[in-house]
């Protein structure tokens, strides 16, 4: 990438749906996974919301985020039970009709014998008008995309399979590159000069992350992020020099 | 608790602040912890938002949630560096002035020698007008409460220490009791009758959580939650009977 290449910024938000995450019963594993994958493919995850199994709450979150970001992902609430209301909520948010989709039903019938198909399981084939199916290689029941809203399962292995199917057809941007610089400095020792360097490099995001260990006390990792490698190199050299000078001054 | 005791519902939201969580670099450990503690003390965690180190985003989240829920917690962004902007954002959201607070400064001076106090570290003593300090037994630098907004550190051990100090003075409600019923049924086998039971027990939340294992396929845990033990007993008996009848029917 050269310094004058156009950078493309593509943004996303994630909505995690489920009472069980809010009650603490289930510890979410999807947020960190989606965050990692978005970073890899060049999509900026800008916001995450965890909401209850409540149709109004889901509709409000979908509508707040779909106009603000390029992509909105949801996880959870697409099974066969009464608390699985994501598909209906997304249809309502987008003003679309929703009904059993024959393509989705065919996928379900790949693993569910016809005599075990019941009203509850049929719910998993409900898709809003115009839905594009998202493949599920684990247990078949598909997710779907409508406009820029992408509806996935909550079970991590299934969500990951859906993301594999979905990602290749999503618009992505320039990948953000990063450099991680671990140091023994405490944050307060470097905060002043790091803040000055951030001002000098407005296009390089400089983060400072403290670690605390009962034995060794505080240490800090400085993380630099930018879409342009040349600027990142420049910033890294300046930050490394600052870290060395601070170490010298503290001897 | 008797069946006619008044039930008190107290609600909360959590705002996790930090680019590093959205980029995937840091895997959040605070959401699950806060969720568990809230459930223990009888506070309904209703919503979580993860937002970037962006003042406008933080202000918007604080203002959206503080009017809607009894308590709003924040984690992250209260260190000494330029990306630590939570205190200023919360002050702006609440329309309060913010400046160095002598009580907070005293706490910092318990661990930072006077000759190492600098402008950056002084930032950790900035508190909005009217702040009540939240103790940090790990590294001293305090969090604070203003109105119903409670600002805590992002480092998990420090956040946990702050929550220990904060919780005893927070208004809490009737503790939600729960029963967890693991079954070998697939969700689709019990979804119909479970939905009917949910209608019969509107005051008992019935959740259905699928587990997927490559070897054994899908199993399900049914979780019942209510504030009233007697109703929970009744619902549990009915759900257990339904699970047994379904097993019998599938023989």
The domains found in chain A, sorted by start residue, are 11-169 (3.40.980.10), 177-250 (3.30.70)
- Closest by Cα among A218, A183, A221 to B158: A218
| H/E segment holding residue B37 | helix B30-41
d(CA B208, CA B188): 10
pLDDT by 10s per residue, chain A, length 251: 344 456 799 999 999 999 999 999 999 999 999 999 999 999 999 999 999 999 999 999 999 999 999 999 999 999 999 999 999 999 999 999 999 999 999 999 999 999 999 999 999 999 999 999 999 999 999 999 999 999 999 999 999 999 999 999 999 999 999 999 999 999 999 999 999 999 999 999 999 999 988 888 889 999 999 999 999 999 999 999 999 999 988 77
What beta strand segments (E) does chain B contain? 11-17, 44-51, 71-75, 98-100, 126-128, 132-134, 143-146, 149-152, 177-183, 205-213, 217-226
pLDDT at B3: 41
Put simply, whether A178 touches B (Cβ < 8 Å) is yes
The string of pLDDT tens digits covering residues B9-48 is 999 999 999 999 999 999 999 999 999 999 999 999 999 9
State the distance between the two ends of chain A, measured CA to CA, in whole angstroms.
40
Q: What is the DSSP letter of A118?
A: -
Contact B128, B97 (CB under 8 A): yes
A20 and B CB contact within 8 Å? yes
Q: Where are the beta strands (DSSP E) in chain A?
A: 11-17, 44-51, 71-75, 98-100, 126-128, 132-134, 143-146, 149-152, 177-183, 205-213, 217-226
Size of the A and B interface in Cβ pairs below 8 Å: 190
Q: Does B211 contact A at CB distance below 8 Å?
A: yes
CA pseudo-torsion sign B20, B26, B32, B33: negative
Q: What percentage of chain B reaches a pLDDT higher than 70? A: 98
Percent of chain B with pLDDT over 90: 91
**How far is A80 from chain B, CA to nearest CA, in Å?**
6
- The SS3 assignment for A3 reads coil
Count the helices and strands in chain A (H runs, E runs): 9, 11
pLDDT one-digit tens code per residue, A171-205: 999 999 999 999 999 999 999 999 999 999 999 99
Rounded CA separation A24/A32 (Å): 17
Which residues does residue B11 pair with via DSSP β-bridges, in sequence order? B44
Length of chain B: 251
Point out the residue among B31, B36, B187 whose CB comes nearest to the CB of A81: B187
Residue A29 CB-half CA count within 13 A: 10
- Could A47 and B50 be called an inter-chain contact, meaning their C-beta atoms sit closer than 8 Å? yes
| pLDDT at residue B216 is higher than 90 | no
The Cα B250–Cα A115 span in angstroms is: 12
Q: Which residue of A has its CA nearest to B80?
A: A188
- B142-195, pLDDT tens digit by residue? 999 999 999 999 999 999 999 999 999 999 999 999 999 999 999 999 999 999
What pLDDT score does A217 carry? 86
Given CB atoms, is B35 within the 8 Å cutoff of chain A?
A: yes
**B103-149 per-position pLDDT tens digit:** 999 999 999 999 999 999 999 999 999 999 999 999 999 999 999 99
**Chain B interface includes A139 (CB < 8 A):** yes
SS3 A242: helix
Confidence band, pLDDT 50/70/90 cuts, at residue B212: confident
Instruction: Answer whether B219's CB lies under 8 Å from B184's CB.
Output: yes
B237: its two tokens: 């008996």
Among chain B residues, CA nearest to A39: B23
Position B251 pLDDT exceeds 50:
yes
- Residues of chain B found within 8 Å of residue A189, distances taken between Cβ atoms: 116
Q: How close, in Å, is residue A61 to chain B by CA atoms?
A: 10
Nearest-angstrom CA–CA distance, B158 and B139? 7
Cβ within 8 Å, pair B25-A155: no
Element (H, E) at A180: strand A177-183
Nearest to A198 among B21, B39, B82 (CB): B82
List Cβ neighbours of A134 (8 Å cut-off, separation of 6 or more): A142, A143, A144, A145, A150, A151, A152, A162, A165, A166
Q: B131 by DSSP, 3-state: which?
A: coil
What are residue A91's phi and psi, to 5 degrees?
-60, -45
Pairing of strands A71-75, A11-17: parallel
At residue B4 the predicted structure's pLDDT band, cuts being 50, 70 and 90, is: very low
- Print the SS3 string covering A143-162: EEEECCEEEECCCHHHHHHH
| Environment class of B233 (CB within 10 Å of its CB; exposed 0-12, middle 13-18, buried 19+) | middle
Report the residue of A12, A23, A43 to disrupt the B interface, i.e. the one with the largest count of B CBs within 10 Å.
Answer: A23
8 Å CB contact between A137 and A111: no
- By the 8 A CB rule, do B108 and B183 touch? no
- Could you tell me the pTM of the whole model? 0.95
**Which is it for the CA torsion A190, A195, A199, A201, positive or negative?**
positive
Per the CB < 8 Å rule, is B198 touching A82?
Answer: yes
Whole-number Å distance between alpha carbons of B52 and B18: 5
pLDDT above 80 (res B91): yes
Rounded distance, CA B212 to CA B198, Å?
24
The pairing of beta strand B205-213 with beta strand B126-128: unpaired
Residues A176, A12: contact at Cβ < 8 Å?
Answer: no
Judging contacts by C-beta atoms under 8 Å, the chain B residues touching residue A138 are 212
Q: Is there a contact between A24 and B35 if contact means CB atoms under 8 Å apart?
A: yes
The answer to whether A19 contacts chain B (CB < 8 Å) is yes
Higher pLDDT pick, A2 / B52 = B52
Q: Does A238 touch chain B (CB under 8 A)?
A: no
A22 and chain B: CB distance < 8 Å anywhere?
yes
């Amino acid at each position: 990438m050269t310094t004058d290449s156009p950078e493309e910024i593509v943004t996303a938000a994630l909505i995690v749906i489920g009472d069980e995450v809010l009650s603490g019963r289930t510890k979410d594993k999807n947020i960190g996974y989606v965050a990692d994958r978005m970073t890899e493919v060049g999509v900026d995850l800008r916001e995450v919301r965890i909401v209850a199994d409540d149709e109004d709450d889901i509709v409000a979150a979908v509508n707040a985020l779909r106009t603000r970001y390029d992509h909105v992902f949801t996880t959870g609430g697409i099974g066969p039970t009464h608390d699985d209301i994501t598909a209906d909520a997304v249809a309502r948010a987008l003003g679309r009709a929703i009904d059993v989709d024959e393509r989705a039903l065919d996928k379900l019938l790949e693993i569910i014998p016809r005599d075990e198909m019941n009203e509850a399981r049929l719910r998993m084939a409900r898709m809003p008008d115009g839905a594009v199916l998202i493949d599920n290689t684990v247990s078949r029941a598909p997710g779907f995309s409508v406009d820029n809203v992408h509806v996935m399962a909550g079970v991590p292995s299934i969500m990951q399979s859906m993301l594999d199917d979905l990602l290749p057809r999503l618009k992505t941007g320039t990948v953000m590159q990063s450099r991680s610089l671990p140091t023994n400095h405490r944050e307060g020792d470097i905060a002043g000069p790091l803040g000055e360097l951030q001002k000098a490099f407005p296009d390089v995001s400089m983060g400072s992350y403290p670690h605390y260990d009962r034995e060794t006390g505080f240490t800090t990792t400085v993380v630099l992020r930018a879409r342009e490698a040349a600027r990142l190199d420049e910033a890294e050299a300046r930050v490394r020099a600052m870290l060395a000078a601070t170490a010298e001054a503290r001897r």
